[in-house]
Structure 1
Amino acid sequence: MTAVLQPPLTPHPLLRLSLAPHSGLPHHIDGAWWPHSYDLLAELPRLLAGLPRTWGHIAGVTVNGATWPATPGRMLVLDQVVRLRRSTATSAPHTVCLLAPNRGRWDLLVVPPDTPQDTAEQLMAAAAVGGV
Protein backbone atom coordinates (compact mmCIF):
# COMPACT_ATOMS: atom_id res chain seq x y z
CA MET A 1 0.00 0.00 0.00
CA THR A 2 1.38 3.40 -0.96
CA ALA A 3 0.66 6.74 0.69
CA VAL A 4 0.65 9.86 -1.44
CA LEU A 5 0.81 13.39 -0.10
CA GLN A 6 -1.51 15.65 -2.02
CA PRO A 7 -0.02 18.96 -3.23
CA PRO A 8 -2.05 22.14 -2.72
CA LEU A 9 -4.97 22.55 -5.10
CA THR A 10 -4.25 24.48 -8.24
CA PRO A 11 -6.89 26.79 -9.67
CA HIS A 12 -9.37 24.84 -11.78
CA PRO A 13 -12.87 25.40 -13.02
CA LEU A 14 -15.63 24.93 -10.49
CA LEU A 15 -16.54 21.55 -9.09
CA ARG A 16 -19.19 19.95 -11.28
CA LEU A 17 -21.36 18.12 -8.76
CA SER A 18 -25.11 17.61 -8.56
CA LEU A 19 -26.60 15.86 -5.52
CA ALA A 20 -30.00 14.29 -4.97
CA PRO A 21 -32.04 15.92 -2.20
CA HIS A 22 -31.61 14.36 1.22
CA SER A 23 -34.44 12.06 2.23
CA GLY A 24 -34.94 9.16 4.58
CA LEU A 25 -35.10 6.75 1.67
CA PRO A 26 -31.94 5.26 0.18
CA HIS A 27 -31.07 6.23 -3.38
CA HIS A 28 -29.51 3.95 -5.98
CA ILE A 29 -27.49 6.99 -7.08
CA ASP A 30 -26.99 9.95 -4.75
CA GLY A 31 -25.98 12.40 -7.44
CA ALA A 32 -23.48 12.93 -10.22
CA TRP A 33 -19.91 14.17 -10.49
CA TRP A 34 -18.37 15.40 -13.73
CA PRO A 35 -14.60 15.54 -13.17
CA HIS A 36 -12.33 17.49 -15.49
CA SER A 37 -9.97 14.51 -15.98
CA TYR A 38 -9.31 10.93 -14.91
CA ASP A 39 -6.46 12.07 -12.66
CA LEU A 40 -7.93 10.92 -9.36
CA LEU A 41 -5.12 12.48 -7.34
CA ALA A 42 -6.07 15.90 -8.74
CA GLU A 43 -9.85 15.45 -8.90
CA LEU A 44 -10.66 13.70 -5.61
CA PRO A 45 -9.58 16.52 -3.27
CA ARG A 46 -11.90 18.94 -5.10
CA LEU A 47 -14.78 16.49 -4.90
CA LEU A 48 -14.34 15.81 -1.19
CA ALA A 49 -13.96 19.50 -0.40
CA GLY A 50 -17.27 20.21 -2.15
CA LEU A 51 -19.38 17.58 -0.37
CA PRO A 52 -21.94 18.55 2.28
CA ARG A 53 -20.47 18.76 5.78
CA THR A 54 -23.31 16.53 6.99
CA TRP A 55 -21.73 13.63 5.12
CA GLY A 56 -18.83 13.73 7.57
CA HIS A 57 -15.25 12.70 6.85
CA ILE A 58 -15.06 10.48 3.79
CA ALA A 59 -12.57 7.83 4.84
CA GLY A 60 -12.94 5.46 1.89
CA VAL A 61 -13.43 5.87 -1.84
CA THR A 62 -14.02 3.05 -4.31
CA VAL A 63 -13.58 3.68 -8.02
CA ASN A 64 -13.86 1.36 -11.00
CA GLY A 65 -10.47 -0.05 -11.91
CA ALA A 66 -11.25 -0.19 -15.62
CA THR A 67 -12.27 3.47 -15.73
CA TRP A 68 -9.61 5.11 -13.55
CA PRO A 69 -5.87 4.63 -13.99
CA ALA A 70 -3.84 3.10 -11.18
CA THR A 71 -4.37 4.70 -7.82
CA PRO A 72 -2.40 4.55 -4.58
CA GLY A 73 -3.87 2.66 -1.62
CA ARG A 74 -4.45 5.88 0.27
CA MET A 75 -3.89 9.59 0.00
CA LEU A 76 -3.96 12.64 2.22
CA VAL A 77 -6.92 14.90 1.44
CA LEU A 78 -7.71 17.99 3.51
CA ASP A 79 -5.30 16.75 6.21
CA GLN A 80 -7.08 13.40 6.52
CA VAL A 81 -6.17 9.97 5.18
CA VAL A 82 -8.57 8.57 2.58
CA ARG A 83 -8.32 4.89 1.62
CA LEU A 84 -8.68 4.28 -2.10
CA ARG A 85 -9.98 1.03 -3.52
CA ARG A 86 -10.36 -0.13 -7.10
CA SER A 87 -13.30 -2.32 -7.96
CA THR A 88 -13.32 -4.73 -10.86
CA ALA A 89 -17.13 -4.97 -10.94
CA THR A 90 -18.48 -4.48 -14.42
CA SER A 91 -21.93 -3.56 -13.12
CA ALA A 92 -21.03 0.03 -12.24
CA PRO A 93 -18.16 1.28 -14.42
CA HIS A 94 -19.15 4.93 -14.09
CA THR A 95 -19.69 5.30 -10.37
CA VAL A 96 -17.67 6.28 -7.34
CA CYS A 97 -18.57 5.06 -3.87
CA LEU A 98 -17.88 7.33 -0.89
CA LEU A 99 -17.81 5.90 2.65
CA ALA A 100 -17.97 7.84 5.90
CA PRO A 101 -17.66 5.74 9.08
CA ASN A 102 -20.85 5.84 11.15
CA ARG A 103 -22.41 8.28 8.67
CA GLY A 104 -23.16 6.35 5.52
CA ARG A 105 -22.39 5.48 1.95
CA TRP A 106 -23.01 7.61 -1.13
CA ASP A 107 -22.79 6.47 -4.73
CA LEU A 108 -22.22 9.07 -7.41
CA LEU A 109 -22.56 8.68 -11.13
CA VAL A 110 -19.28 9.71 -12.76
CA VAL A 111 -19.89 11.56 -16.00
CA PRO A 112 -16.83 10.93 -18.20
CA PRO A 113 -14.65 14.06 -18.48
CA ASP A 114 -14.90 14.21 -22.28
CA THR A 115 -18.72 14.13 -22.31
CA PRO A 116 -20.25 17.03 -24.29
CA GLN A 117 -21.64 19.70 -21.98
CA ASP A 118 -25.29 19.33 -22.97
CA THR A 119 -25.21 15.55 -22.44
CA ALA A 120 -23.33 15.89 -19.15
CA GLU A 121 -25.80 18.45 -17.82
CA GLN A 122 -28.72 16.15 -18.68
CA LEU A 123 -27.08 13.21 -16.91
CA MET A 124 -26.29 15.31 -13.86
CA ALA A 125 -29.84 16.69 -13.66
CA ALA A 126 -31.31 13.17 -13.97
CA ALA A 127 -29.00 11.84 -11.25
CA ALA A 128 -30.01 14.67 -8.91
CA VAL A 129 -33.64 13.57 -9.04
CA GLY A 130 -32.93 9.84 -9.02
CA GLY A 131 -33.64 9.34 -12.70
CA VAL A 132 -30.42 7.52 -13.58
Structure 2
Amino acid sequence: MSPHLDTAALPALKSAEQPSRAPRLRSKPAGPVTGHVDGAWWPRTRDLGTELPALLVLPALRLDRIERVAYCLADWPRAPRHLTVDGAVVRLEGFRSQRPGTVTIVGARDRLTLLVVPPETEPADAEHILTTAAHRDNRDTVENLLATGNAHGTGTAADSGDEAAQRWDAEGGRLPASV
Protein backbone atom coordinates (compact mmCIF):
# COMPACT_ATOMS: atom_id res chain seq x y z
CA MET A 1 0.00 0.00 0.00
CA SER A 2 1.22 3.45 -0.79
CA PRO A 3 1.19 6.18 1.86
CA HIS A 4 -1.39 8.91 2.12
CA LEU A 5 -1.02 11.60 -0.49
CA ASP A 6 -0.07 14.84 1.18
CA THR A 7 2.06 17.84 0.49
CA ALA A 8 5.19 15.99 1.59
CA ALA A 9 4.89 13.95 -1.62
CA LEU A 10 4.79 17.04 -3.85
CA PRO A 11 7.48 16.61 -6.50
CA ALA A 12 9.76 19.48 -7.41
CA LEU A 13 8.05 21.71 -9.94
CA LYS A 14 9.64 23.95 -12.51
CA SER A 15 10.00 27.41 -11.01
CA ALA A 16 7.39 28.85 -13.41
CA GLU A 17 4.87 26.24 -12.20
CA GLN A 18 5.68 26.55 -8.50
CA PRO A 19 2.47 27.34 -6.60
CA SER A 20 2.65 30.04 -3.97
CA ARG A 21 1.56 27.42 -1.46
CA ALA A 22 1.20 23.66 -1.81
CA PRO A 23 -2.31 22.16 -1.99
CA ARG A 24 -3.94 21.18 1.29
CA LEU A 25 -4.87 17.59 0.52
CA ARG A 26 -5.19 14.28 2.33
CA SER A 27 -5.99 11.03 0.57
CA LYS A 28 -6.75 7.52 1.77
CA PRO A 29 -3.99 4.99 1.12
CA ALA A 30 -4.28 3.14 -2.19
CA GLY A 31 -6.23 -0.06 -1.74
CA PRO A 32 -9.79 -1.34 -1.70
CA VAL A 33 -12.36 1.43 -2.08
CA THR A 34 -14.17 2.36 1.15
CA GLY A 35 -16.61 5.11 1.94
CA HIS A 36 -18.04 7.99 -0.02
CA VAL A 37 -14.80 9.87 -0.67
CA ASP A 38 -11.15 8.98 -1.24
CA GLY A 39 -9.85 11.93 0.75
CA ALA A 40 -10.33 15.66 1.14
CA TRP A 41 -9.01 18.90 -0.33
CA TRP A 42 -9.11 22.36 1.25
CA PRO A 43 -8.76 24.99 -1.51
CA ARG A 44 -7.81 28.53 -0.58
CA THR A 45 -10.41 30.14 -2.90
CA ARG A 46 -13.47 29.27 -4.97
CA ASP A 47 -11.55 29.85 -8.22
CA LEU A 48 -11.33 26.33 -9.65
CA GLY A 49 -9.07 27.37 -12.53
CA THR A 50 -6.52 28.81 -10.12
CA GLU A 51 -6.72 26.05 -7.49
CA LEU A 52 -6.65 22.91 -9.67
CA PRO A 53 -3.17 23.03 -11.25
CA ALA A 54 -1.36 22.68 -7.92
CA LEU A 55 -3.89 20.11 -6.66
CA LEU A 56 -3.58 17.85 -9.70
CA VAL A 57 0.16 17.23 -9.23
CA LEU A 58 -0.46 14.86 -6.31
CA PRO A 59 -3.30 12.72 -7.69
CA ALA A 60 -1.27 12.35 -10.91
CA LEU A 61 1.19 10.27 -8.88
CA ARG A 62 -1.57 7.74 -8.18
CA LEU A 63 -3.68 8.04 -11.34
CA ASP A 64 -0.84 8.22 -13.87
CA ARG A 65 -2.37 10.67 -16.37
CA ILE A 66 -5.29 12.89 -15.37
CA GLU A 67 -7.87 13.23 -18.13
CA ARG A 68 -10.70 15.19 -16.51
CA VAL A 69 -12.11 16.71 -13.36
CA ALA A 70 -15.84 16.64 -12.62
CA TYR A 71 -17.29 19.20 -10.21
CA CYS A 72 -20.68 20.40 -8.97
CA LEU A 73 -21.76 23.49 -10.90
CA ALA A 74 -23.39 24.98 -7.79
CA ASP A 75 -20.12 24.81 -5.79
CA TRP A 76 -17.88 26.84 -8.10
CA PRO A 77 -18.38 30.07 -9.99
CA ARG A 78 -17.38 30.07 -13.65
CA ALA A 79 -14.56 27.69 -14.40
CA PRO A 80 -12.54 27.14 -17.58
CA ARG A 81 -13.43 24.13 -19.72
CA HIS A 82 -9.80 23.00 -20.02
CA LEU A 83 -6.54 23.41 -18.13
CA THR A 84 -3.01 22.52 -19.18
CA VAL A 85 -1.27 20.71 -16.34
CA ASP A 86 2.26 19.38 -16.76
CA GLY A 87 1.92 19.70 -20.56
CA ALA A 88 -1.34 17.72 -20.75
CA VAL A 89 -4.84 19.07 -21.33
CA VAL A 90 -7.30 18.27 -18.53
CA ARG A 91 -11.02 18.70 -19.23
CA LEU A 92 -13.10 20.37 -16.51
CA GLU A 93 -16.71 19.22 -16.49
CA GLY A 94 -19.35 20.86 -14.35
CA PHE A 95 -22.49 18.86 -13.61
CA ARG A 96 -25.66 19.57 -11.70
CA SER A 97 -25.70 15.86 -10.84
CA GLN A 98 -22.21 15.85 -9.24
CA ARG A 99 -22.52 15.39 -5.50
CA PRO A 100 -22.17 18.85 -3.90
CA GLY A 101 -18.99 19.29 -1.90
CA THR A 102 -16.92 16.95 -4.08
CA VAL A 103 -14.65 16.88 -7.10
CA THR A 104 -13.86 13.71 -9.01
CA ILE A 105 -10.45 13.43 -10.64
CA VAL A 106 -10.48 10.89 -13.46
CA GLY A 107 -7.25 9.31 -14.60
CA ALA A 108 -6.42 6.89 -17.38
CA ARG A 109 -7.10 3.85 -15.17
CA ASP A 110 -8.76 5.05 -11.98
CA ARG A 111 -10.53 7.95 -10.29
CA LEU A 112 -10.47 9.77 -6.97
CA THR A 113 -13.43 11.52 -5.41
CA LEU A 114 -12.37 14.23 -2.98
CA LEU A 115 -14.43 16.04 -0.41
CA VAL A 116 -14.02 19.80 -0.90
CA VAL A 117 -13.64 21.57 2.43
CA PRO A 118 -15.01 25.11 1.91
CA PRO A 119 -12.19 27.69 1.75
CA GLU A 120 -13.76 29.74 4.53
CA THR A 121 -13.59 26.84 7.02
CA GLU A 122 -11.63 27.56 10.20
CA PRO A 123 -8.14 25.99 9.93
CA ALA A 124 -8.47 23.66 12.93
CA ASP A 125 -11.86 22.43 11.66
CA ALA A 126 -10.43 21.92 8.17
CA GLU A 127 -7.49 19.92 9.55
CA HIS A 128 -9.92 17.69 11.43
CA ILE A 129 -12.08 17.14 8.33
CA LEU A 130 -9.05 16.40 6.12
CA THR A 131 -7.70 13.85 8.59
CA THR A 132 -11.08 12.18 9.16
CA ALA A 133 -11.90 11.93 5.43
CA ALA A 134 -8.48 10.38 4.67
CA HIS A 135 -8.70 7.70 7.35
CA ARG A 136 -8.44 4.28 5.69
CA ASP A 137 -11.75 2.98 7.12
CA ASN A 138 -13.80 6.17 6.99
CA ARG A 139 -17.24 5.65 5.48
CA ASP A 140 -18.88 8.95 6.46
CA THR A 141 -21.02 10.83 3.96
CA VAL A 142 -19.94 14.20 2.61
CA GLU A 143 -22.52 15.89 4.82
CA ASN A 144 -21.35 14.08 7.95
CA LEU A 145 -17.70 14.82 7.24
CA LEU A 146 -18.37 18.53 6.85
CA ALA A 147 -20.47 18.49 10.03
CA THR A 148 -17.59 16.91 12.01
CA GLY A 149 -15.53 20.04 11.41
CA ASN A 150 -18.28 22.30 12.74
CA ALA A 151 -18.76 20.06 15.78
CA HIS A 152 -15.02 19.86 16.40
CA GLY A 153 -15.21 22.82 18.78
CA THR A 154 -12.02 24.67 18.01
CA GLY A 155 -12.80 27.82 19.96
CA THR A 156 -13.04 31.26 18.48
CA ALA A 157 -11.45 32.24 15.20
CA ALA A 158 -9.34 34.80 17.02
CA ASP A 159 -7.94 32.08 19.29
CA SER A 160 -7.19 29.44 16.67
CA GLY A 161 -7.56 30.73 13.10
CA ASP A 162 -4.32 32.57 12.38
CA GLU A 163 -2.20 30.30 14.54
CA ALA A 164 -3.64 27.12 13.02
CA ALA A 165 -3.29 28.44 9.45
CA GLN A 166 0.35 29.35 10.07
CA ARG A 167 1.00 25.95 11.66
CA TRP A 168 -0.71 24.22 8.71
CA ASP A 169 1.43 26.03 6.14
CA ALA A 170 4.66 25.69 8.16
CA GLU A 171 4.18 21.96 8.63
CA GLY A 172 3.40 21.36 4.97
CA GLY A 173 -0.18 20.37 5.75
CA ARG A 174 0.80 17.57 8.12
CA LEU A 175 -0.50 17.12 11.62
CA PRO A 176 2.05 16.46 14.38
CA ALA A 177 2.67 12.75 15.10
CA SER A 178 1.08 13.08 18.54
CA VAL A 179 -2.39 13.70 17.01
Give TM-score scaled by structure 2 length.
0.63
Secondary structure in 2 aligned to 1:106? Answer: strand
Amino acid across the alignment from 2:45: S
Instruction: Choose which of 105, 123, 147 in structure 2 pairs with 1:98.
Output: 105
> Are residue 49 (structure 1) and residue 83 (structure 2) matched?
no
Matching residue of 1:88? 96
Kindly name which structure, 1 or 2, has the bigger radius of gyration based on alpha carbons.
2
Give the alignment of 1:49-88 within 5 angstroms: 49-51=57-59, 53-88=61-96
Q: Distance in 1 between matches of 2:80 and 2:32?
A: 34
Q: Distance in 2 between matches of 1:33 and 1:85?
A: 18
Q: Distance in 1 between matches of 2:134 and 2:81?
A: 30
Amino acid across the alignment from 1:19: S
State the 1:94 CA deviation. 0.6
State the 1:131 CA deviation. 4.5
Greater share of strand residues, 1 or 2? 1
Matching residue of 2:29? 21
> Are residue 120 (structure 1) and residue 126 (structure 2) matched?
yes
| CA shift in 2, pair 1:52/1:26, >3 Å | farther
State the 1:15 CA deviation. 1.5
Matching residue of 1:5? none
Number of residue pairs aligned between Structure 1 and Structure 2: 123
Identical residues among aligned pairs (%): 37
Give TM-score scaled by structure 1 length.
0.84
Q: Distance in 2 between matches of 1:26 and 1:17?
A: 18
- Of structures 1 and 2, the one with the larger relative CO (CA 8 A, separation 6+) is 1
> Are residue 111 (structure 1) and residue 117 (structure 2) matched?
yes
State the 1:36 CA deviation. 0.8
Secondary structure in 2 aligned to 1:50? Answer: helix
State the 1:9 CA deviation. 3.8
Amino acid across the alignment from 1:97: T
Q: Is contact 2:47-2:79 (8 Å) kept?
A: no
Greater mean alpha carbon deviation, residues 36-45 or residues 8-17:
8-17
| CA shift in 2, pair 1:97/1:11, >3 Å | closer
Greater mean alpha carbon deviation, residues 27-36 or residues 8-17:
8-17
Q: Is contact 2:36-2:139 (8 Å) kept?
A: no
Q: Distance in 1 between matches of 2:49 and 2:22?
A: 17
